[in-house]
């Protein structure tokens, strides 16, 4: 003790019960025994029994330190990495201990600015993984603890979703991957529902689901109802879980298209005028009636290629022609090249165009028609020749 009095019997003392063995031990609490920082102390130890106290040991000296303890940190809850659902809130407390009590704060990622809330970190509607760092500092030192917060599934829906109505009651759905996949994409779920005209939105149990692969960016919904409203939503899935479902894309399927007509073999006249004959198509919008308009397309290029250029003729059934009987359309020879192979198709036009017929092929000739042979009437000395004939 700082007191230089050698009468150690007057020193503050602690009675320590004997536990047996050769070595005794005692811990002196700093506050209970008013132990001061940065101070030199002396200690002597005596043994006593039921009769008397024995002699003291020689003096032993020690110096106290500052009494400060560097910070240590732990999380409440302790999960690290932490896991949350997409767009879920997350809260955690960083508990810092030390002497004196440390200042505790959070930063996010590479940011240096402190988050509000001190030792408590609150994150709202998480759409992507977050790295947060808890900091603690006092006079004895600094400490950091890194927390990884992972989102269990894509935090954003797929992008650029479009629904394109196609003939034959088909919807073509196209999209781009989500901005925040949060893991490796494993597929997509396409949600679609019919919305009758008398309703404003589908019920929860009206939705159907289709699972497609991770590399897909389009899908066709087939066998739908004609002239019907549909809502379409899309959801990405990663190896961590299901992601956010997109807002609905609202669309409407096309009316029923007329079926393709049957085209007869093409007739080519000597002057290369072409006669196209075909059976009429039923009008799907009016039972018992036939389509009244058709598109005749023809080409001398490869008809199987997508970039083939087709010429077209729009043809309406003339008045007085029975639309229920076999129809015929002429293509003037002046529109065709001589000695050329052509391919022709017929497309019915109702409320919308129907599919084209099977291609029919034909070959043009020279297109030159020889004049008729002159007729000579000898008995009258009259010579009759075709118009335009040299004589």
pLDDT at 62: 86
Alpha-carbon distance of 66 to 40, in angstroms, equals: 12
Strand pairing of 141-151 and 82-84? Answer: parallel
SS3 content of the chain, % helix, strand, coil (to 5): 5, 45, 55
Q: Is residue 92 part of a domain?
A: yes
Per the structure, the complete domain to which residue 145 belongs is given by 69-151
Is 107 in the same domain as 119? yes
CA distances (Å), origin 268, targets 224, 235, 271, 309, 327:
42, 56, 8, 22, 16
Q: Is residue 9 part of a domain?
A: yes
Which of 151, 169, 200 marks a domain boundary?
Answer: 151
| CATH code for the domain of 227 | 2.60.40.10
CB atoms within 10 A of CB 348: 27
Question: To which residue do tokens 């930063």 refer?
Answer: 107
Is 179 in the same domain as 247? yes
Is 235 in the same domain as 175? yes
Alpha-carbon distance of 221 to 51, in angstroms, equals: 101
- CA-based max dimension of the chain: 182
Which of 151, 179, 210 marks a domain boundary?
Answer: 151
pLDDT at 2: 45
Helical (H) or strand (E) element with 218: strand 218-221
Is 86 in the same domain as 60? no
Q: Is residue 271 part of a domain?
A: yes
Q: Report phi then psi at 50, rounded to 5.
A: -70, -10
Model pTM above 0.75: no
Flag residues of the chain having pLDDT under 70: 1-6, 21, 369-391
Is 277 in the same domain as 309? yes
Question: To which residue do tokens 């009758």 refer?
Answer: 196
Is 282 in the same domain as 324? yes
Which of 199, 218, 252 marks a domain boundary?
Answer: 252
Is 177 in the same domain as 192? yes
pLDDT at 386: 64
Is 75 in the same domain as 63? no
pLDDT at 370: 64
Is 60 in the same domain as 34? yes
Query: How many residues in the chain?
Result: 391
Q: Is residue 96 part of a domain?
A: yes
- Read off the DSSP letter of residue 290: B
Q: How do residues 39-84 score in pLDDT, each as one tens digit? A: 888 888 888 887 888 888 888 888 888 888 999 999 999 999 999 9
Is 307 in the same domain as 356? yes
Is 99 in the same domain as 146? yes
Tally of structural domains, the chain: 4
Strand pairing of 274-278 and 241-245? Answer: unpaired
Q: Is residue 126 part of a domain?
A: yes
Q: Is residue 391 part of a domain?
A: no
| CATH code for the domain of 34 | 2.60.40
Q: Is residue 377 part of a domain?
A: no
Question: To which residue do tokens 């009016």 refer?
Answer: 286
pLDDT at 367: 72
Is 16 in the same domain as 29? yes
Helical (H) or strand (E) element with 329: strand 327-331
Q: Is residue 291 part of a domain?
A: yes
Question: To which residue do tokens 């910070």 refer?
Answer: 71
pLDDT at 146: 97
């Amino acid at each position: 003790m700082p007191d230089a009095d050698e009468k150690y019997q007057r020193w503050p003392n602690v009675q320590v019960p004997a536990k047996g063995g050769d070595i005794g031990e005692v811990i002196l609490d700093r506050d209970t025994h008013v132990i001061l920082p940065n101070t030199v102390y002396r200690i002597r130890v005596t043994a006593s029994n039921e009769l008397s106290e024995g002699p003291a040991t020689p003096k032993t000296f020690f110096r106290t330190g500052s009494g400060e303890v560097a910070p240590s940190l732990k999380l409440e809850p302790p999960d690290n990495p932490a896991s949350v659902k997409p767009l879920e809130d997350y809260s955690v407390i960083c508990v810092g201990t030390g002497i004196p009590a440390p200042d505790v704060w959070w930063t996010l990622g590479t940011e240096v600015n402190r988050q509000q809330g001190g030792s408590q970190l609150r994150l709202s509607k998480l759409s992507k993984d977050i790295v947060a760092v808890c900091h603690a500092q006092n006079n004895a030192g600094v400490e950091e603890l890194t927390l990884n917060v992972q989102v269990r599934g894509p935090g954003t829906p797929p992008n650029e979703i479009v629904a394109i109505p196609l003939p034959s009651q088909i919807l073509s759905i196209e999209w781009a991957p989500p901005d925040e996949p949060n893991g490796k994409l494993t597929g997509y779920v396409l949600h679609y529902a019919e919305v009758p005209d008398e309703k404003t939105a589908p019920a929860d149990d009206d939705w159907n689901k289709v699972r497609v692969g991770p590399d897909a960016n389009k899908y066709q919904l087939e066998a739908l109802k004609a002239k019907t409203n549909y809502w379409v939503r899309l959801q990405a899935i990663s190896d961590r879980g299901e992601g956010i479902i997109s807002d609905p894309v609202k669309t409407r399927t096309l009316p029923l298209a007329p079926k393709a007509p049957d085209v007869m073999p093409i007739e080519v006249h000597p002057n290369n005028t072409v006669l196209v004959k075909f059976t009429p198509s039923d009008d799907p919008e009016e039972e018992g009636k036939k389509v009244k308009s058709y598109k005749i397309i023809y080409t001398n290029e490869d008809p199987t290629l997508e970039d083939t250029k087709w010429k077209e003729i729009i043809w309406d059934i003339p008045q007085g022609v029975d639309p229920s009987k076999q129809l015929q359309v002429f293509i003037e020879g002046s529109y065709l090249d001589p000695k050329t192979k052509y391919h022709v198709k017929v497309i019915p036009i109702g409320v919308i165009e129907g599919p084209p017929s099977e291609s029919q092929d034909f070959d043009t000739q020279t297109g030159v028609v020889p004049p008729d042979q002159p007729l000579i009437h000898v008995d009258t000395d009259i010579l009759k020749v075709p118009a335009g004939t040299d004589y």
